[in-house]
Amino acid sequence: MPRSVNHRWEVLSLNKERKKTPVNKKAVLIRMGSYLWDNKGMMSLALFLTIAANLANLYVPSVSGNAIDAIGGKGLVNFDMVLYYCKIMLALILVNAVFSYMARMVIVRVSANITRTMRQQVFEHLLTLPVGFFDRNQVGDIISKISYDIDTINTSLSSDLITILTSLITVIGSAWMMLRIAPVLCLIFIVTIPLIIFVTRQRTRKVRPLFHERSRRLGLLNGFAEEMLSGHKTIKAYGQEDTIIGRFDQKNQEAVDAYYEADYQGTLVGPTVQFINNLSLSMVTAFGALLFLFGRITIGNISSFTLYSRKFSGPISETANLFAELQSAISAANRVFGLLDEPSEPADDPDAAVIGTAEGSVDFDQLHFSYIKGTEILHGINIHARPGQMIAIVGPTGAGKTTIINLLMRFYDPDSGTISIDGHDIMHSTRESVRKQFSMVLQDTWLFEGTIYENVAYGNDKAGKEDVERVCKAAHMHDFIMSLRNGYDTVLTDSGVNISKGQKQLLTIARAMLSDSRMLILDEATSNVDSHTEQLIQDAMLELCKGKTTFIIAHRLSTIKTADQILVLNHGSLIEQGTHESLLAEKGFYAGLFNAQWDN
């Protein structure tokens, strides 16, 4: 539903403040783990393959050391033994390659499954959220969470997860093999490992909020771009291209700065850890040489230990290099989980009534409402509409016209007072049954990519071709549709951009005419058609709306002369009501509005 611009920016500002919450890393990791647990069968297979591949790889340095020792102490070479060990190494390398490939394929499949599940959950959850959520959040930011943030999680799961699994097994296995070869040399890592842990933890504390800010800035940039692109005609009409480009440049620079700062701080971990690992390797070489001189270790064992130390330190360095990606994935997951945690529309009361086919009687009794607590929008509204009446709601911008429709559809609930349909308090009725009582035509048209027939028949599964043609004739669209090459089977492109705005509005009016509901809501429904077509639509609607209670929001007062009741709102209060003639006779606020439009 259209909202006032001021209200939208107020709730957007409040939401930005609310979003500045710290990332609970532990909670995010546990929730990401729950998705892995849902794929525990494939994850078990991936773990088995990874362990098998790494065990094969872990024996290569040991076999290599044996091959070196087979040369002999005085230059005598046992070629048979050397060839034997070389064959074993080749077999181990092949086993490692095959099992590693299979493990990566399984992980990629798990990642794809999780991505699909996440997107499905997010999209389904979006459909359960109240209208107020979409007032508080930019569409571009929501799309960024569905696309960019989930893709970031997918990348981390498909590549980083297998790297971490491999690294963990390699580090443990290498440590065990080094302890078997030369326990004394392992003392070197007592110094280097704590140093690596200290550096990594310090950088984590600094970098984590930077990646959260990076994701947030990208969401804001996408939101701004989406809003500006949807209004590009207005931008061009007012010659504001340079202004918009300047604002985009600012937001783009803020996003780039956030990216740079996060990546810069994150990538510092890898080189630092690499330096410490190279230092430990140098110490292993030096102390290994001393042990050899004292006859405590063979050349082959030194070679094996050195290779194992590289295998031990290599994964640590590799994991450190993944540090930035992991933090980015955690921040992205936090944003996605934040969206999933948004409260859905409150559940209906356990004893909520289901309204059947209503006769169309609607009552508002002392209705008060505020979008933001402390700022009341509607003040004690009282309305009574009898079945079949046409009720027009008029007033200046911001008077509360659309708010009344929002409450009638239970997109929002009142602060106090009641709304009743045929005597049923809608607060104690199911939302679905309340909304099924109405069909709507909004100022902002919505058509999906599909045929004209599918768009008009949307919401009425029982409608046949004859029914669709009937309402299109009443909406004066039949002749135009039949002039198209494929008639009613013509496929509308995204948002119906291959037909005019007025024609899109006519199709949505035809869709509303096809509804079985006994009540209609027309929110500036004729605002996008010319005067001649508007008159034709008015005549058709008068015929088709017989027996239906109709609520019309209109700025063009000439279109509501025949309304049974005209409600005049100003600053959230119902200041006048009556027929067109009686309100003109009062020479009050409505008469002033009408005469001003007539003069114009």
pLDDT per position as a tens digit, 498-552: 677 777 878 888 888 787 788 888 876 555 556 666 666 666 666 667 778 889 8
Query: Would the pLDDT of 17 be above 60?
Result: no
16 or 248, which is more confident: 248
Instruction: Write the burial class of residue 328 (CB in 10 Å: 0-12 exposed, 13-18 middle, 19+ buried).
Output: buried
SS3 letters across 180-215: HHCHHHHHHHHHHHHHHHHHHHHHHHHHHHHHHHHH
* Same domain for 319 and 403: no
The confidence score (pLDDT) of residue 507 equals 83
Could you give the CA distance from residue 89 to residue 67 in angstroms, rounded to a whole number? 10
Residue 531 is predicted with a pLDDT of 67
Q: Are residues 200 and 249 in the same domain?
A: yes
Say if residue 180 is in the same domain as residue 316: yes
**Number of domains into which the chain is organized:** 2
Whether the predicted pLDDT of 75 surpasses 60 = no
**pLDDT of the residue at 322:** 67
Q: Which of 340, 370, 402 is the last residue of a domain?
A: 340
Instruction: Judge whether 528 lies within some domain.
Output: yes
pLDDT, position 19:
46
Does the pLDDT value for residue 4 go beyond 50? no
Percent of the chain topping pLDDT 90: 8
* Domain end among 308, 340, 372: 340
- Mean pLDDT of the 472-479 span: 84
At 420 the pLDDT is 92
Least confident interval from 369-373, 376-380, 539-543: 539-543
On whether both 230 and 141 belong to a single domain, the answer is yes
In a domain, 491, yes or no: yes
**What per-residue confidence (pLDDT) applies to 179?**
80
Q: CA-based angle 383:384:387, to the nearest 5?
A: 140
pLDDT for position 112: 86
pLDDT digits (tens, 9 = 90+) for 386-404: 998 889 998 888 888 888 9
Same domain, 303 and 381: no
* pLDDT digit string, tens, across residues 413-424: 899 999 999 889
CB neighbours of residue 422 within 10 Å: 16
Residue indicated by tokens 């005085």: 74
Q: Is residue 319 part of a domain?
A: yes
Same domain, 435 and 511: yes
Higher pLDDT, 437 or 82: 437
Helix (H, G, I), strand (E, B) or coil at 533: helix
Q: What is the pLDDT of residue 362?
A: 92
Paired tokens of 85: 């060990």
Cβ(471)–Cβ(456) below 8 Å: yes
- Residue 557: CATH number of its domain: 3.40.50.300
Residue 595 lies in a domain: yes
Query: Please, what is the Cα angle at 520 between 517 and 521, to 5 degrees?
Result: 140
The per-residue pLDDT for 366 is 93
Query: Given a cut of 70, is residue 63 above it in pLDDT?
Result: yes
CATH number at residue 203: 1.20.1560.10
Name the β-bridge partners of 363: 384, 420
Q: Does residue 333 share a domain with residue 378?
A: no
The reply to whether 326 and 385 lie within a common domain is no
Give the domain range for residue 566: 362-599
Using 50, 70 and 90 to split pLDDT, how confident is the model at 330? confident
Residue among 255, 262, 304 nearest 284 (CA): 304
Give yes or no for residue 11 having a pLDDT over 80. no
Alpha-carbon distance 327 to 330, whole Å? 5
Model confidence pLDDT, tens digit, residues 286-324? 777 777 777 777 777 777 777 777 777 767 666 666 666
What is the distance between the alpha carbons of residues 310 and 303, in angstroms, rounded to a whole number?
11
Q: DSSP letter at 378?
A: E
Identify whether 61 is part of a domain: no
pLDDT at 497: 52
Task: State the DSSP H helix or E strand holding residue 380, giving kind and residue range, or none if neither.
Answer: strand 378-385
- In 10 A of CB 75, how many CB atoms? 6
Dihedral sign computed on CA atoms, order 383, 384, 385, 391: negative
Q: Could you give the 3-state DSSP secondary structure of residue 142?
A: helix
Say if residue 432's pLDDT is above 80. yes
User: What does the mean pLDDT of the chain come to?
Assistant: 79
382 and 364 in contact (C-beta within 8 Å)? yes
Tell me how crowded residue 284 is: count the other CB atoms within 10 A of its CB: 24
Lowest mean pLDDT among 17-31, 460-474, 539-553: 17-31
What does DSSP assign to residue 3? -
Q: Are residues 375 and 473 in the same domain?
A: yes
Scan for tokens 């979003």, then name that residue.
19
Q: Which of 384, 515, 388 is nearest to 441 (CA)?
A: 515
**Is a pLDDT exceeding 50 seen at residue 205?**
yes
Spatial neighbors of 359 by CB under 8 A, at least 6 apart, are: 387, 422, 518
Q: What is the pLDDT of residue 369?
A: 92
Within this chain, do residues 194 and 325 fall inside the same structural domain, yes or no?
Answer: yes
Calpha distance 268→247 (Å, rounded): 32
Of 169-183, 191-205, 356-370, 501-515, where does the model show the most confidence?
356-370
Strands (E), 527-584: 549-553, 565-570, 573-578
Q: Give the CA distances from residue 370 to residues 11, 116, 261, 404, 416, in Å, rounded to whole numbers and listed in that order.
A: 12, 39, 41, 11, 10
Does residue 2 belong to any structural domain of this protein?
no
Say what the pLDDT of residue 222 is. 73
* Residue 301 confidence (pLDDT): 73
| pLDDT attached to residue 419 | 92
449: pLDDT strictly greater than 50: yes
Q: CA torsion, points 176, 181, 182, 185, in degrees to nearest 10?
A: -60
Summarize the confidence of residues 494-499 as an average pLDDT.
58
Q: For 160, which DSSP code?
A: I
User: Are 374 and 470 found together in one domain?
Assistant: yes
Residues 323 and 454 both lie in one domain = no
- pLDDT at res. 3: 42
Which candidate, 281, 225, 230, places its Cα nearest to that of 252? 225
CB 131 within 8 A of CB 412: yes
Give the pLDDT of residue 9.
Answer: 38
Last residue of some domain: 291, 310, 340? 340
**Is 191 among the domain residues?**
yes
> What are the tens digits of pLDDT across the range 153-162?
887 776 777 7
Residue 73 covered by a domain? no
> What is the dihedral angle through the alpha carbons of 88, 89, 92, 93, rounded to the nearest 10 degrees?
-150
Question: Residue 53: is its pLDDT beyond 80?
Answer: yes
d(C-alpha 227, C-alpha 10), whole Å: 17
- The b-or-e profile of 116-131 (16+ CB within 10 A means b, else e) is eebbeebeeebeebbe
